[in-house]
Amino acid sequence: MYSFEPNEEQQMLIDAMGKYAVNDLRPAAHDAEESRELPKKLIGKGWELGLLQASTPEAYGGFGDRSAVTGALAIEEMAFGDLAGALAVMTPSLFATPILLAGTEAQKQEYLPKIVGGNWSPYTAALIEFNFDFDPNALKTSAKLSDGTYVLNGEKAFVPFAKDAEAIIVYADLDGVTQGFIVPKNSAGLTISAEREKLMGLNALPMYRVKLEDVRLPAENRLGGEAGHDFELILASMRVASASAAVGVAKASFEYAKQYAKERDAFGVKIAQKQAIAFMLAEMITEIESMRLMVWEAAWKLDNGKDDSAIAAYLANTGAADMAMMVTDRGVQILGGHGYIREHPVEMFLRNGRGFAMLVGLAIV
Amino acid sequence: MSIEFENPKPIVQMQTMLQSVAENMMRPASREFDECEHSIPWDYVEFMHTAMKAVGGGGGLAPVDDRTNVSTDVKRPPIGYQKLAAQIEMLAWGDVGFYLITPGGGLGAAAVQAAGSPEQKAKFLARFNEDKPTYAAMCMTEAGAGSDTSAIRTRAVLDESTKEWIINGEKIFVTGGDKSFTEYEKLGKGFIVVWASIDPTAGRSGMRAFVVESGTKGVSIVKLEHKLGIRASDTAVISLVDARVPYDNVLGSPTVETNTKGFKGAMATFDATRPLVAASGIGVARAALEFLKEKLKENGVEIRYGLPRNKLTSVERDVIDMDIQLRSAWLMVLKAVWMADNKKPNALESSMSKVRAGDIVTRITQKAVEIMGPLGYSREFLLEKWFRDAKITDIYEGTGQINRLVVARQILGYTGAELR
């Protein structure tokens, strides 16, 4: 059966997330971006809404099962408010969800209860590398098995909250396959950059370079233990998350531009009454809606273990990234000169929108 | 309810069956009926009529019939429109020109269904279940009135002495007009639905639809158009000179009221059919994309899904974009028809699906021809035909521009006067 209606539980979550996005994240977004600082209370409030807690089974301290569809719905709502804030709230999922999906029983028992049972705390993951041809399936950071321990070498970039992180899942190449490794803080050979990353957007989200020099890890720190894990599933979950965030940011830009166009006078009418503007808006909402459905389908395929879920996630992510670029660019264009001024949020949406093509691994459903 | 993307079993079964029709009956004859414009593929017409009657779906592919069948089924969520969209997509994948001449009431019957009384529905729609394949067509467009249907100049005047309507005017772009009006031995008696004004001073509220039976005196097929594509489907110019039509053949109220119900009836028809037109275009685009992928594979070109964009070749990027466009457009169609099945107002989603499909099917077929080079341009393959066939998607039943206007008015909350 096809159905395009969230269930009751999902609708409640969407409503709660939507409120938080509009009442909390959005009003804080401008100052957070300018001051490069997200208020702790703001993150805490988003954490209390319990997306990760509701995705973690009771046995590990949560109260529900993980659903990529639910995750995608929630991320879109939060990203509509503010992308940096949304990513900050969900950073612990970067560590917890892969463990939930692929971890050994011991890994689950060790980490999940303390992450979901407590306040928001910085557990994170490191996937991106600072190369133009960065490819999650062909990482330059390497892991080598030697005398029963894994030795990690390489450098990771754009790692959220790395400085304060209790532990980081570092993705590295092991014999040609990407695998995750749990790297506790203060591991010998692990260096977190003193300076934060400075990027085109996402300035409120503290991100760091992470250097690994002969970091030695016991065999049980490999995600999934001795047998390892299927990275494809984790990557697909990251892509769906990124794609749904792209839909949220695009929607934010669209709504803002639409409102502006209905208020701005020119030549005796509102500019939205001009076909040149009205048609742009019509195309924006059409693209947003079509990519939202791509994201939903990919998420549903993940939840239902469909064979082509990885390709669906890749297509959704690729399409949503392009869409976000197109829509956020037009958001600025519709506001004209005002769109270029940082008082209006559309320029920030544009900077954030540009990132989706390369920033996989900053969120996961 | 919950978000789900499982293609229902009855639809999968139907698709499998129609795929075989497409492969065995449509594709092999596709080229012939593209080149011999205005000849009728009787094998297909008669087979489809028999087949549809056999499964109890007489009346063809009109959404109204399918919906009537389904609404009696109270146990499962209705999927009538979804099934119809999937049928149309698959038939158009076979050959969209053939699909367009699938016997049945088409837009003519849809207008009767949308604006007719119960008596009129009984009287005019029963014929599609009879022995011979039967057609009906919609006559809306005029030389001076395309998307701006309020500019229609065809007039209907009531002759009080005989209680007949006298209709004068000329209609163009009548899809299936020939098979609906001309009396063929192998076809049942069809009709055309003619939109005319009963009061030119009343604008849209004066607009009415009239059922004009095949063979009516004063009505003639002036010519059949020669087109870029969809050549198996006849497109007629129909002239009406003092054509007399029974009083009861007017759909809706015979007097002018202050509201614009008559016109809204026509527009309601379009809300229902826009996603279906989108579906037909998507079928053509899928045929082109599948052909392209097959040929690339034959030539050793592999599409490496999953690679970052900057590591892909230009051809790979194009194909991946085409995959995204095709699937996302199809999902928009599915959502629009799912809303129709669940009785949710879907004017916005219908128009969005048409905007999206109109865009992507032209882009996909254009790109596929480009990538295939000389093979794409040659009539040795059907690809160049699909390129020509696809283009109509962005034109008929509301051009992409009109649909953008409809979408924009909806999202901005503007009336036609506020956003012209």
Report pLDDT digits (tens) over A121-153: 999 999 999 999 999 999 999 999 999 999 999
Give the HSE-up count for residue B173: Cα atoms under 13 Å, Cβ half-sphere.
14
Domain layout of chain A by residue ranges:
8-117, 124-227, 231-357
The residue-averaged pLDDT of B9-17 equals: 95
Q: Under an 8 A CB cutoff, do A258 and B306 touch? A: no
Whose CA is closest to A349, among A283, A257, A242? Answer: A257
Distance in angstroms (rounded) separating the CA atoms of residues A176 and B89: 42
Residue B271 reports pLDDT greater than 80: no
**Confidence tier at B186 by pLDDT (50, 70, 90):** very high
Residue B153 reports pLDDT greater than 70: yes
Residue B74 reports pLDDT greater than 70: no
Which among B305, B407, B419 has the least Cβ separation from residue A286? B407
Chain A partners of B5 at a C-beta cutoff of 8 Å? 2, 296-297, 300-301
What confidence score (pLDDT) does residue A105 get? 98
Which among B310, B356, B411 has the least Cβ separation from residue A132? B310
| φ, ψ (nearest 5 deg) of residue A126 | -125, 110
Residue B303 reports pLDDT greater than 70: yes
Which among B8, B305, B349 has the least Cβ separation from residue A311? B305
Alpha-carbon distances, residue B173 vs B5, B224, B226, B354 (angstroms): 37, 9, 11, 19
Q: Under an 8 A CB cutoff, do A319 and B356 touch? A: no
B83-130 residue pLDDT tens: 999 999 999 999 999 999 999 998 899 889 888 899 999 999 999 989
Q: Are A254 and A346 in contact (CB under 8 A)?
A: no
Which among B1, B310, B412 has the least Cβ separation from residue A7? B1
Is the CB of residue B304 less than 8 Å away from at least one CB of chain A? Answer: no
A228-263 residue pLDDT tens: 999 999 999 999 999 999 999 999 999 999 999 999
- Least confident residue range of A75-89, B50-64, B218-232: B50-64
**Confidence tier at B65 by pLDDT (50, 70, 90):** very low
Q: Which residues contact B367 (CB under 8 A, 6 or more apart)?
A: B318, B322
Q: Under an 8 A CB cutoff, do B6 and A6 touch? A: no
Residues of B belonging to the active site:
397
Which among A6, A282, A301 has the least Cβ separation from residue B404? A282
Chain A partners of B355 at a C-beta cutoff of 8 Å? 282-283, 286
Distance in angstroms (rounded) separating the CA atoms of residues B192 and B173: 13
Chain B partners of A291 at a C-beta cutoff of 8 Å? 328
B238-270 residue pLDDT tens: 999 999 999 999 998 887 765 555 566 666 666
**Confidence tier at B67 by pLDDT (50, 70, 90):** very low
Q: Under an 8 A CB cutoff, do A5 and B1 touch? A: yes
What confidence score (pLDDT) does residue B68 get? 43
Residue A188 reports pLDDT greater than 90: yes
Q: Under an 8 A CB cutoff, do A283 and B355 touch? A: yes
Q: Which long-range contacts (CB under 8 A, 24 or more apart) does A117-120 make?
A: A117/A61, A119/A44, A119/A47, A120/A43, A120/A44, A120/A46, A120/A47, A120/A89, A120/A92
> Mean pLDDT for chain B?
91
Is the CB of residue B12 less than 8 Å away from at least one CB of chain A? Answer: no
What confidence score (pLDDT) does residue B69 get? 44
Residue of chain A minimizing CA distance to B306: A314
Distance in angstroms (rounded) separating the CA atoms of residues B64 and B52: 15
Q: What architecture is the A8-117 domain classified under in CATH?
A: Orthogonal Bundle (1.10)
Percent of chain A with pLDDT over 90: 99
- Class level of CATH domain A124-227: mainly beta
Chain B nearest-CA distance from A247, in A, is 13
Q: Under an 8 A CB cutoff, do A3 and B356 touch? A: no
Is the CB of residue B8 less than 8 Å away from at least one CB of chain A? Answer: yes
Q: Which residues contact B331 (CB under 8 A, 6 or more apart)?
A: A290, A293, A294, A297
Residue of chain B minimizing CA distance to A269: B418
Q: What domains sit in chain B, N to C, each tagged with a CATH number?
A: 9-108 (1.10.540), 135-257 (2.40.110.10), 263-412 (1.20.140.10)
A267-314 residue pLDDT tens: 999 999 999 999 999 999 999 999 999 999 999 999 999 999 999 999
Percent of chain B with pLDDT over 70: 92
- For A245-271, give the DSSP string: HHHHHHHHHHHHHHHHHHH-EETTEEG
Whose CA is closest to B140, among B174, B169, B165, B90? Answer: B174
The residue with tokens 């087979």 is B47
Q: Are B195 and B142 in contact (CB under 8 A)?
A: no
Chain A nearest-CA distance from B229, in A, is 27
Q: Under an 8 A CB cutoff, do A275 and B405 touch? A: yes
Residue B317 reports pLDDT greater than 90: yes
Selected residue of B4, B9, B289 to mutate for chain A interface (largest A Cβ count, 10 A)? B4
What confidence score (pLDDT) does residue A131 get? 95
Chain B nearest-CA distance from A280, in A, is 9
Q: Under an 8 A CB cutoff, do B3 and A1 touch? A: no
Give the angle subtended at the CA of A80 by the CAs of A77 and A81, to the nearest 5°: 100
Residue A344 reports pLDDT greater than 80: yes
B354-372 residue pLDDT tens: 999 999 999 999 999 999 9
A319-328 residue pLDDT tens: 999 999 999 9
Q: Which residues contact B312 (CB under 8 A, 6 or more apart)?
A: B304, B320
Is the CB of residue B416 less than 8 Å away from at least one CB of chain A? Answer: no
Selected residue of A1, A127, A240, A301 to mutate for chain B interface (largest B Cβ count, 10 A)? A1
Residue of chain B minimizing CA distance to A359: B308
Q: Which residues contact A74 (CB under 8 A, 6 or more apart)?
A: A13, A14, A17, A51
List B residues 72-91 in contact with A (Cβ-Cβ < 8 A).
77, 79, 82
Distance in angstroms (rounded) separating the CA atoms of residues A356 and B123: 58
A164-184 residue pLDDT tens: 999 999 999 999 999 999 999
Q: Under an 8 A CB cutoff, do A319 and B324 touch? A: yes
Residue B278 reports pLDDT greater than 70: yes
Q: In 3-state terms, what secondary structure has residue A101?
A: helix
Which among A290, A304, A315 has the least Cβ separation from residue B332? A290
Residue of chain A minimizing CA distance to B408: A282
> Mean pLDDT for chain A?
97
B330 against B105, higher pLDDT: B330
Q: What's the topology of domain A231-357?
A: Butyryl-CoA Dehydrogenase, subunit A; domain 3 (1.20.140)
Which among B2, B324, B408 has the least Cβ separation from residue A318? B324
What confidence score (pLDDT) does residue B244 get? 98
The H or E element containing residue B72 is none
Given its phi and psi angles, is residue B343 left (phi above 0), alpha (psi -120 to 50 degrees) or beta?
left
Q: Are B211 and B248 in contact (CB under 8 A)?
A: no
